[in-house]
Amino acid sequence: MKENLKRSFAAVIFDMDGVLLDSEPIYRKIQDNFFAELGFSVSDKEYDEFIGLGLENMWKMIKSKREIPYDIPKLITMNNQKILDFIKDLNDLNSMPNLLEFLEICKKNKLKTAVASSTNLQIVKTILKKLGIHEFFDEIISGEQVENSKPAPDIFLHTAYLLNIPPDKCLVVEDSENGVTAAKSAGMYCIGFNNPNSGKMNLSRADIVVDNFYEITGMFKQ
C-alpha cells in the first residue's frame, strides 16, 4: 500500500513532459524528422539518454559524436521552432488521465502549484493552454531561466523561491531519472511517475513511484 500523503506540503511542482502530457511520442516524431533533415538518426537507447536533459545538453551529446554544421544555440533555436510549429497544429492534445482531478484537489487544499520543465517556456505555455490547465499554476518555470539543467537542482530551488515555499515543503512529480535526481538534490519529496513512453527510467531515488494520477489522488484523499 502506498503511503498517505496528507502531510505538511505547501506546494506541488510538476515536470511537464511525460507527467502533465504524454509528450515523448510526440517529441520523438518531431526529433526524428529534424535529425533526418540534418542527416543522421538516433537509436532508442541513445534517445532515452536525452529525456529530461533539456535541448542544450542533448545537442552537446549529439555534437560530441557527429559533425553537424550548426552551433548549439542555432540548433536549439531551430529545434524549438520545430516543436512549437508542430504543437500549434495539433488539435487533439490531452492531459494525463486523472490529472485534472488532482489539480482540483491541490486547489481545494490551497496548495501552491508550479510547472518546472526543461522545455522552452513558450512551448510549455502553449502546451498548458492547449490542455486547458494553464490557469491552475502559480508559477511556470523553464530550464532556460536557470544556470544548470536537470539533474542539477537549480530549477526546483528557483521554483521554490518564486513560490516562497521552503524546499522541504515541496512535493515534486517527475518521470525521468534526471528529474528525480534534481528534486532529491533540492531537498524535496519526490513522486516518481512511471511513464513507459518516457523510456526505461531509473526512478529508484524517488520517495515513492506511481503509475498514474489516480494513485496520487487516492493518497491525498486518504
Task: Please report the pLDDT score of residue 16 as a whole number.
Answer: 96
191: left (phi over 0), alpha (psi -120 to 50) or beta: beta
What confidence category does residue 1 fall into, taking pLDDT thresholds of 50, 70 and 90? very low
> Can you tell me the mean pLDDT for 96-120?
95
48 carries an active-site annotation: no
Q: Which of 23, 11, 6, 5 is nearest to 157 (CA)?
A: 11
Confirm if 177 and 204 have CB atoms less than 8 A apart.
no
Dump pLDDT digits (tens) for 67-89.
999 999 999 999 999 999 999 99
Residue with more model confidence, 91 or 138: 138
Q: What is the pLDDT of residues 3-15, one digit of tens each?
A: 556 567 999 999 9
Query: Is residue 57 pLDDT above 70, yes or no?
Result: yes
Give the pLDDT band of residue 48 (cuts 50, 70, 90). Answer: confident
Regarding predicted confidence, which is higher, 209 or 198? 209
**What is the average per-residue pLDDT within 36-44?**
94
3-class DSSP state for residue 20?
Answer: coil
pLDDT in tens, 109-154: 899 999 999 899 999 999 999 999 999 999 999 998 999 988 999 9
What is the distance between the alpha carbons of residues 77 and 123, in angstroms, rounded to a whole number? Answer: 12
User: Which of 17, 22, 154, 175 is an active site residue?
Assistant: 17
15 is catalytic: yes
pLDDT of 165-191, one tens digit each? 999 999 999 999 999 999 999 999 999
What's the pLDDT at 6?
59
Taken as a whole, the chain contains a residue count of 222
- Tell me the pLDDT of the chain averaged across its residues: 92
- Asked if residue 211 has pLDDT above 70, the reply is yes
Cα–Cα distance, 177 to 169 (Å, whole number): 21
Which residue do the cell numbers 495539433 mark?
Answer: 90
Catalytic one of 15, 22, 154, 175: 15
Is the pTM higher than 0.95? no
CB 175 within 8 A of CB 194: yes
